[in-house]
Amino acid sequence: MSEKMWGSEPFWGLGYDWDPDWVYTDRQKELRATLIELCEQELRANAKRFDDELMFPRRNLELLGEHGFLGLTVPEEYGGLGENHVAYSMVCETIARYGCASTAMCYVMHIGAVNAIMLRQTPELVDKYIRPLNSGKIGTLSYSDPETGSHFWYPVSSGAERSNGGYRVRKKASWTTSAGFADFYVVQTTSPDFSGYDDLSVFVVDGDQVQSQPSLWDALGLRGNQSGPLEVPNVEIPATQIVGPEGDGANSNDESVDPWFLIGSSSVWNGLALGAIDIAKRHTTRKKHVDVGLRVADYPTIQDYVGEVLMDTNAARLFVLSVAQAMDRETDGNTRNPEPGALARGNYLHWAWQIKFEAAKNVAHVVDKMLHACGGSGYKRDMELERYLRDAKAGWVMGPTNEVLRQFVGKAVLLGFESLDYWNQSYNRRAVENEVKKLDAAAKRELAEQLMSEAAEQEPKEPAKRA
pLDDT in tens, 83-132: 999 999 999 999 999 999 999 999 999 999 999 999 999 999 999 999 99
What's phi and psi for 385, nearest 5 deg? -60, -35
What is the per-residue pLDDT for 428? 82
Binning the chain into helix, strand and coil, the percentages to the nearest 5 are 60, 10, 30
Q: Is the pLDDT of residue 464 over 80?
A: no
What is the per-residue pLDDT for 462? 66
399: confidence class by pLDDT, cuts 50, 70, 90: confident
Q: How large is the average pLDDT for residues 151-166?
A: 90
Percent of the chain scoring above 70 in pLDDT: 98
Q: Is the pLDDT of residue 467 over 80?
A: no
What is the per-residue pLDDT for 197? 83
Q: How large is the average pLDDT for residues 363-386?
A: 96
What is the per-residue pLDDT for 173? 93
- Across the chain, what does the average pLDDT equal? 95
What's phi and psi for 458, nearest 5 deg? -80, -35
State how far the Cα of 54 lies from the Cα of 75, in Å rounded to an integer.
34
* Separation of first and last alpha carbons in the chain: 63
Q: What is the pTM of this model?
A: 0.94
pLDDT in tens, 419-447: 998 777 777 888 899 999 999 999 999 99
What is the per-residue pLDDT for 39? 98
pLDDT in tens, 330-367: 999 999 999 999 999 999 999 999 999 999 999 999 99
pLDDT in tens, 195-216: 888 899 999 999 999 999 888 8
pLDDT in tens, 250-304: 999 999 999 999 999 999 999 999 999 999 999 999 999 999 999 999 999 999 9
Q: Exposure of 33 by Cβ count < 10 A (0-12 exposed, 13-18 middle, 19+ buried)?
A: middle
369: confidence class by pLDDT, cuts 50, 70, 90: very high
What is the per-residue pLDDT for 461? 66
pLDDT in tens, 310-324: 999 999 999 999 999
What is the per-residue pLDDT for 466? 42
Between residues 149 and 317, which one has the greater pLDDT? 317
* Helix, strand, or coil (residue 432): helix
pLDDT in tens, 386-396: 999 999 999 99
Sign of the alpha-carbon dihedral angle for 63, 67, 73, 79: positive
State how far the Cα of 158 lies from the Cα of 179, in Å rounded to an integer.
17
pLDDT in tens, 175-191: 999 999 999 999 999 99
24: confidence class by pLDDT, cuts 50, 70, 90: very high
* Helix, strand, or coil (residue 207): helix
